[in-house]
Amino acid sequence: MFVHNLIFQGAKDNTVFTGRDSVSYGRLQEQVEKYRNYLYAAGIRIGENVGLFARNSPEFVYCYMAIVSLGAVVVPLNFQLTAREIAFIVKDAQMKKLVTMEHLAVDTELSQQNYRQTVTQLVIPVLKQRLAYEHLPAAPVDDSSLNADSPCAVIYTSGTTGCPKGAVLTHNNLIANASAFREMLPITADDNVLCVLPMYHCFAWTCAVLNALLCGAAITILEAFAPKETIAAVKEYKVTVAYGVPPMYNLLTRIGEAGDFAGVKYLISGGASLPEKVARQFAEKYGLQILEGYGLSEASPVVALNPVHQPKYCSIGKALPGLEVKVVDADGQELPPGEVGEIIVKGPSVMQGYFNLPAESAAALKDGWLYTGDLACRDKEGYFFVVDRLKDLIIANGENIYPREIEELLYSFPGIAEASVIGAADELRGQVALAYVVIQEGYNFDKKAVREYLQTNIAAYKIPRDFIIVDALLKNQTGKILKRVLRDQTQ
């Protein structure tokens, strides 16, 4: 199956989009066909990479599906990127076309990056206006040169550790992941799925859009996350399934009321580790346990999810059906339960590789296994627990320090709203831990009390050398704290 065929899964009269616009599955099919005709007339052809720059909207879905239905490869762009960052991806992906909600001033940056290819921008409002009064000839349907293993999308990583890399995902990668996810989370055509996370990100696209379409469900589209507006939408549109990142659940816990999520069946968290304190407080307030999952763009993205009826706090759950997941040592040997190593993944949702980066692809993909760079352990029941990013591991006097262990304790200390622990260079010990913390309003930070609390819970060598109070911790769109920025600040 091709990704664009998912628009035919729901009954034509059933609602597919709620929110700002109400759209039926039949209307979705009609719009994708019209957009397809327009984009074909604009010169988009099989195999070329096409950028898509837009916020959450039905138009994002129309454009995405129209692009891939032509056999082209969609490159969703983070709408928060600067002109320089957009230009880097345009050049790296060798784009000729860019579908955007508004004209982007990137010509100067493209020139400075020595990209001489003319980039045509197809502006969505202009496209809509033209389609309103002009009937374009039907684009030819030719799938003869396409198959399920043809590239569908290039997803650029967040670039938190340097220049972003484009993970090449096939139609089969995305369909396989959405299908396996459906087996773990029983969604039906009667459900209404909240899409408030950005559609350009693989988490939102696969889980909140593709999986919902696969099930024939409705999707409530919100352009961006705002706590009060999100709660109002959940109530108004009778949302039953919602996806979020930890900072969202943290905010919703603080401002919501007990009955706000009364009609919701499933809440899923991803994008970053969910602190146990946040999960427990949410459950206490709303009577719903958040199902934490785990994934990465290179795996389309979902790798694991907590079972609906047997979730475990601090666990990312069990591997999705059809995926092999192991925890291995530095030599690639599988470790027994309880031992920490790197998570590796094998299966139909693992990417083809990084676009035009053979060395990086070979480093990430070995004998069919995707090496994630995440440290984890598993228990005897098959639940996985992420310990940290391999690159975030702190080594002090030869001892491993896992920042997440310290962060969980800091989150549980009264008055600490957020915490992030990084490693800093130290002449005597090699590295030491530093903690950045955000304090809740109305609390005073008592460094001595925090140290005493930590001393009763972890070994002395793990206790941060210093605690740095900040107003906020910078995050990317998926809720991950940008530790690279914190490390840069300490140099």
Q: Which domains does the chain have, with CATH numbers?
A: 1-391 (3.40.50.12780), 393-490 (3.30.300.30)
- Bridge partners (DSSP) of residue 265 are none
C-alpha–C-alpha distance, residues 298 and 294, integer Å: 12
3-state DSSP assignment of residue 468: strand
Look up residue 32 and give its two tokens.
């994708």
DSSP readout, 126-174? HHHHHHHH--PPPPP---TT--TTSEEEEEEP--TTSS--EEEEEHHHH
Number of DSSP helices (H) and strands (E) in the chain, helices first = 15, 26
For residue 57, what is the DSSP state? S
C-alpha–C-alpha distance, residues 370 and 306, integer Å: 21
C-alpha pair distances (Å), 387 with each of 172, 405, 408, 420, 471: 30, 7, 11, 14, 26
Residue type, 306: N
C-alpha–C-alpha distance, residues 72 and 77, integer Å: 16
Q: Residue 396: its pLDDT value, please?
A: 82
3-state DSSP assignment of residue 74: strand
Q: Residue 158: its pLDDT value, please?
A: 61
Say if CB 423 and CB 394 are below 8 A apart: yes
C-alpha–C-alpha distance, residues 75 and 69, integer Å: 14
pTM, full prediction = 0.87
Q: Residue 399: its pLDDT value, please?
A: 76
Q: Residue 161: its pLDDT value, please?
A: 43
Would you write out the chain's pLDDT as a tens digit for each of its 491 residues?
899 999 999 999 999 999 878 999 999 999 999 999 999 999 999 999 999 999 999 999 999 999 999 999 999 998 888 888 899 999 999 999 999 999 999 999 999 999 999 999 999 999 999 998 888 999 988 767 789 999 999 999 864 445 789 999 999 999 999 999 999 999 999 999 999 999 999 999 999 999 999 999 999 999 999 999 999 999 999 999 999 988 899 889 989 999 999 999 999 999 888 989 899 999 999 999 999 999 999 999 999 999 999 999 999 999 999 999 999 999 999 999 999 999 999 999 999 999 999 999 999 999 999 999 999 999 999 999 998 877 888 888 777 788 988 999 999 999 999 999 999 888 777 789 999 999 999 999 999 999 999 998 888 889 999 999 999 998 876 777 888 888 888 76
Q: What is the pLDDT of residues 216-248, one digit of tens each?
A: 999 999 999 999 999 999 999 999 999 998 889
Look up residue 28 and give its two tokens.
């979705």
Q: Residue 159: its pLDDT value, please?
A: 47
Provide the pairing of β-strand 266-269 with 241-244.
parallel
Q: Residue 85: its pLDDT value, please?
A: 85
Q: What angle do CA 201, 206, 211 make, to 5 degrees?
A: 150
Task: Tell me which long-range contacts 424-432 makes (C-beta under 8 A, separation of at least 24).
Answer: 424/465, 424/487, 424/490, 426/396, 426/465, 429/396, 429/397, 430/395, 430/396, 430/397, 430/398, 431/394, 431/395, 431/396, 431/401, 432/394, 432/396, 432/464, 432/465
CB contact burial 362-375 (16+ within 10 A = b; e otherwise): eebbeeebbbbbbb
Q: Residue 315: its pLDDT value, please?
A: 97
The dihedrals phi and psi of 369, each to the nearest 5 degrees, come to: -95, 135
The separation between the first and the last C-alpha atoms of the chain, rounded to the nearest angstrom, is 50
Tokens 């940056």 found at: 109
